[in-house]
Structure 1
Amino acid sequence: MSPCVALVVFGVVCLLLATMVIVGRMRGRHGIQAPAVSGHPMFERAYRVQMNTLEQAVMFLPAFWLAVQFGRDDLACVLGALWLLGRVGYAVTYLRNPASRALPFVLAMAAFGGLLLQAAWGIGWSLWLG
């Protein structure tokens, strides 16, 4: 496995951990007792960032793996890094001002789309060649 592949996956795990820590801090700062998921607007933003990031990661990781296995791992790593950059940007902008999250969201989704295309092309090519 290429070190860049491992680095992208490690980055995703760190991003998920960071969003979890932020939610925990907001829970404590604003007195939101578990299992509540609403209360102070800053907690709700942090919680939405965490949940949206988790939802995206569940789709990103298998798409990334397929793109690495059936496509070019270097291209998959570039797209994976762009996805990570977009997701970090999404988290930062959403926490500051939810209305400003569009650009990083679009960047991450475009990178995800690129991974899906690369995976589909590679899988199709492999099936065609038998």
Structure 2
Amino acid sequence: MDAPVLVAAVTLLSALQMVYLARRVGWSRMAHKILPPAVTGPPEFERTFRAHQNCVEFYMLFLVCMWSCGVFFSEPIAATGGLVYMIARLFYFNGYVKSTKKRLPGFWVSVAVVFFLSLLGLIGIVQQILHKYFYIYR
């Protein structure tokens, strides 16, 4: 099996995106003069903080689903899904910073991508189990 270089590249890009989003929280802290560990302040800061926290909370689900799809189903599809997820999360974050209602399009696209990647990963895992342990399929 070849190294999953596409999925690894998207993983690295997504980690850099998470660093950028964390930095946005830092910039918001400075703009609103909110010192750590405080997490409350003007609504603009609180929306930025929550947007980042929501991205952190969803990140592990995304990684597991992307890697499962990439290893067991299709690496190019998983990498493409990962890039779509990253774009959707950026729209989610930027929308949330402006207004809680503006986060929804990015949210729903990212949920759809995670669902799609998890479904394909599950299909690939079932195929592998059927082939490896029951000598059927493929």
Fold-level match, TM-score > 0.5? yes
Larger radius of gyration: 2
Take 1:27 and 1:67, find their aligned partners in 2: how far apart are those partners?
A: 37
Unaligned runs of 5+ in 1: none
C-alpha deviation, 1:2, in angstroms = 4.5
Name 1:12's counterpart in structure 2: 14
Percent identical among aligned pairs is 27
Take 2:48 and 2:69, find their aligned partners in 1: how far apart are those partners?
A: 30
C-alpha deviation, 1:40, in angstroms = 1.4
Name 2:114's counterpart in structure 1: 112
The superposition leaves residues 1-32 of structure 1 with CA deviations (integer Å, 9 ceiling, x where unpaired) of 34432331122112111111011111111111
TM-score (norm 2): 0.88
Unaligned runs of 5+ in 2: 133-138
Residue type matched to 1:75 in 2?
Answer: I
Greater shift, 2-11 or 51-60, is seen at 2-11
Q: Counterpart of 2:92 in 1: which secondary structure?
A: helix
Q: Is the CA contact (8 Å cut-off) linking 2:88 and 2:106 kept in structure 1?
A: yes
Take 2:66 and 2:24, find their aligned partners in 1: how far apart are those partners?
A: 26
- Equivalent position to 2:79, from 77, 80, 91: 77
Name 1:35's counterpart in structure 2: 37
CA RMSD for the aligned pairs?
1.2
